[in-house]
Structure 1
């Protein structure tokens, strides 16, 4: 499985989700997008779960690396 990483910590919050969605759309089936964020992206998980049919919610993973660093992997079916 190929993995693309996108660090969104320096992107203004209002522009993060559109950038993440665009990066996810560019993936092929079986690939994953890992985002590096300054908080747990649980709201984004729910958004992807509700709106993106290609999102593999069963394989979603999130790891807190530091107090303000979370790595969340969004796999594509």
Structure 2
């Protein structure tokens, strides 16, 4: 399970597979990930609270922002 508070990083991850972007609620004891290069978290469960975007594709401005990081 992958969760990040950074919306652009989440969109980038979702766009890799033309996936969907969700808002989730981390349940149980969660901890910061040491595996991901960005701020992210792992938890035993993360139920979806909202579907934010379907079939995510980054626009040109978002791609440029990510290339600067």
TM-score (normalised: structure 2): 0.28
**Greater fraction of residues in strand:** 1
TM-score (normalised: structure 1): 0.26
